[in-house]
Amino acid sequence: MQKRSPSEFSNRPDPAQLKTLAILQIVCEVLVLMVAAVVLVGWLVPPIGRLLPSGWDLMKANTALAAGCSAWSLALSQPRRSRSSLLVSRVLAVVVAVLAATSLAEYAFHLSVGLDTLLAADAQSQHPGRMSPQTAGAFALLSVVMICIRARKRPSSRVADFLLFSLCLLILTILSGYAFGAVHMFGITMSTRTSLQTLGSLMLLSFIAFARRAEYGSFSILLGNGIGGRIARIATPFALALPFALQAGSFLLSHSGTMTVQYATATMTSLAAMLAFGLVILLARRIDAQEREIRDLSLRDGLTGLYNRRGFFVLAEQALLLSQRSGSQFSVLFIDLDNLKLVNDTFGHDTGSIFLTDVADLLHQTFRKTDIIGRIGGDEFVVAGEAGEAEMEFASQRLQQAAAQRSAELGRPFPIGFSLGQVTSDANGSETLEDLLRDADHTMYRAKRLKKTQSAAEGRAVFA
């Protein structure tokens, strides 16, 4: 079996994100089908068309048919669909491709195939029944994307992603044309242009295609569980909306007479710089939070929340070096639980886990926040920090008293017992952390042997 690295799993789409996107895709498909159906009925049944708002006929019958076929094609290409559904999806995509390619060919070679007026005459238009070149180009790109929508292997996957990127660029260009009054960016003339309902349908269809390709292609980073995916989901809305917002602000300021073009440009440039800086700060804080989370996962014990062996050694060695530099005493307390194996065998591992978490809770309550508390073995805990022998001895006594009180609680099936070993370095000592741990471990084992000897002599049971 092929092994997978952790990074491969972090790059996989987040199931929660996929579930949300699946719902949004259905909503978008329904909206596009509703728009396409209303426009088609308006063209095919003129009395109904006369009841529709003005401008509805800018979305031609062929355009509405292409939009409807695209929505059905995307709906039938969802994951876990049958092969027959996928085949019908591709047939519908080919129909869209034919409609778009025919319009583009008619514009390029100044001819009329007759397909544009097959559903409705549209005699009043300069180009009867023909969608604008921008609309035709968008549907041509979308049709190829739909054919390759579930491609996973190169190069078809890369081609699909590139065409989808190009489609999004074209739609943003059409949107910019509307926003800033550049007529030729969204049509030939005002009567032959990409209508607002067509633009809305294309945006919804592109979103569906983008969400679907994010499950398979290069855009999967946007749905990933890793840091990259989370950061990308924060940055993407800013990256897409910020240029439009700034240009729109500059346009409004200059054309309203509030500022000249030079002042409006200077103001928007300054604002853009500060917004970009704010985004950098936001992303940096997010990355820092993710880094802390990852560090905690790698340095902490999953059951008790204490530092694991690696985390304890990393922090305790730093604390020991600091205490040696400042000439302070440094103490290590080694704690070995009594009868953990017997608790597991008698009451089960869930009870054993409660035993461990109870001890961790007592350690948190007894020692200072500046002390380093770790679980370095199955039943071995250790505490380290700047403290003299008397301070650590006092803390040990408080720990034992707290354990006795917890053990006396009504209904507890086992007492909390442990053996302690304490060692304190000299103020000017040169001991390493390994030396202190070894000495504390030896002290603890002497205390444990003494406890067993006393228990055997007194004939006490294991559980008091």
In a domain, 19, yes or no: yes
In the beta sheet, which residues pair with residue 331? 385, 424
Domain housing 138: 6-225
The Cα–Cα gap between 122 and 326 comes to: 90
Domain count of the chain? 2
What tens digit of pLDDT does each residue of 163-222 get? Answer: 999 999 999 889 888 877 787 888 887 777 899 999 999 999 999 998 888 877 777 777
Of 195, 225, 255, the one marking the end of a domain is 225
277's tokens: 């800086």
| 47 three-class SS | helix
In a domain, 179, yes or no: yes
Of 225, 242, 261, the one marking the end of a domain is 225
Asked if 343 and 417 count as a contact pair (C-beta separation under 8 A), the reply is: no
Q: What Å distances lie between residue 144 and 96, 156, 218, CA to CA?
A: 9, 10, 17
The Cα–Cα gap between 433 and 444 comes to: 16
In a domain, 269, yes or no: no
Same domain flag for 340 and 197: no
Tens digits of pLDDT across the chain (464 residues): 344 444 444 455 666 777 888 899 999 999 999 999 999 999 999 899 889 998 888 899 999 999 999 999 999 998 778 889 999 999 999 999 999 999 999 999 988 888 888 888 776 777 788 899 999 999 999 999 999 988 887 788 888 999 999 999 999 889 888 877 787 888 887 777 899 999 999 999 999 998 888 877 777 777 776 677 777 778 888 888 888 888 778 878 877 877 787 777 777 778 777 877 777 777 777 777 776 766 666 788 888 889 999 889 988 998 898 888 878 889 999 999 988 888 888 888 888 888 899 999 999 999 998 899 999 988 899 999 999 999 999 999 999 999 988 888 756 777 888 899 999 987 677 788 999 999 999 999 998 888 877 766 665 544 44
In a domain, 439, yes or no: yes
Looking up residue 385, the CATH number of its domain turns out to be 3.30.70.270
Same domain flag for 168 and 59: yes
The Cα–Cα gap between 199 and 197 comes to: 5
Same domain flag for 18 and 147: yes
Side-chain-side CA neighbours of residue 314 (13 Å): 10
Of 225, 253, 278, the one marking the end of a domain is 225
